[in-house]
Amino acid sequence: MPELPEVETVRRQLHPVLSGARITDVAVRRPDLRIPLPPRFRGRLRGQTVAALTRRAKYLLVELSSGETLLMHLGMSGSLRIEWRGAVRLPANRHDHVVFDLDSGARVLFNDPRRFGFMDVLTPIEREQHAVLSRLGPEPLSAEFDGAALARACRAKTTSIKAALLDQRVVAGLGNIYASEALHVAGLSPLRRAGMLATPTGAPRDSAHRLAAAIKQVLNDAIARAGGRRYRSSRFRVYDREGQPCGRGECDGVIRRRPQAGRSTFYCPVCQR
């Protein structure tokens, strides 16, 4: 499943192509994605100018001149690629399910072999009341996310820190890979109770500040490396490195894997306390 760094990387790649462009046509080659495309999908997009391309958690938001928003989620195998008029185009791919033609001569193709991604077109009210978007917590790379915000969100939680980080109401867009990575950077055990990040009065402990900073660090590092899909396991600190040396300074620990909430958690039992 693409995590925030991958989606942000896609957004940055698409931004110079989509921003300010007019959608001249939309070809729907297969409408039965994970969620069927909405009624009049093609008609609601044709002729619209892209006012902005933003991201919320793991969702791409294409803001249109009509006031509506094209919501896109890549799912497990989805991707977006750009082709240009006059350039040599790749052979037709049976997994190119939706194609957007732009007035600049660019073409943006949504490819999804497993069809777990989806698209929707939202009115302003639908966007505000969206079942997922309306419940998301703060963006981890935003100024509003810090140790204090993390402590407030986790204060009453009795679940593990790892499970809390995967709760999108606590922090938006953080996934399994980078939750494990951030906990290692912060030196915190994923097994500890999330509520320990706050004092009894709700004030953030030092561990909350360390963890919030670590989350920002691992996400920014991943984005700088062009997203997680180009990330080899050897470049991770703990993720997918079960049985390998920890690698933190003088730590002589060995990375362990443990199931948590149906996901694999990787951590060092020696330096993560």
| Residue 58 designated active-site | yes
Is 3 a residue of the active site?
A: yes
**Which of 55, 58, 127, 237 is flagged as catalytic?**
58
- Spell out the domains of the chain, with CATH numbers in brackets: 4-135 (3.20.190.10), 147-267 (1.10.8.50)
Consecutive H or E run containing 211: helix 206-224
Q: Which of 2, 5, 138, 140 is catalytic?
A: 2
Find residue 238's DSSP bridge partners: none
Strand residue runs (E) in 75-171: 79-84, 96-102, 106-111, 118-122
Residues in the chain: 273
Catalytic residue (one of 46, 258, 263, 269): 263
Set 3, 68, 139, 181: catalytic member: 3
pLDDT in tens, the chain (273 residues): 678 999 999 999 999 999 999 999 999 999 889 999 999 999 999 999 999 999 999 999 999 999 999 999 999 999 999 999 877 666 778 899 999 999 999 999 999 999 999 999 999 999 999 999 999 999 999 999 999 999 999 999 999 999 999 999 999 999 999 999 999 999 999 999 999 999 999 999 999 999 999 999 999 999 998 754 544 445 899 999 999 999 898 899 999 999 998 899 999 999 999
Enter the tokens of residue 80.
């977006």
* pTM of the predicted model as reported, rounded to 2 decimal places: 0.92
Q: Are 223 and 234 in contact (CB under 8 A)?
A: no
Q: How far apart are CA 126 and CA 39, in angstroms?
A: 14
Is 162 tagged catalytic? no
| Number of other CB atoms surrounding residue 267 within 10 Å | 26
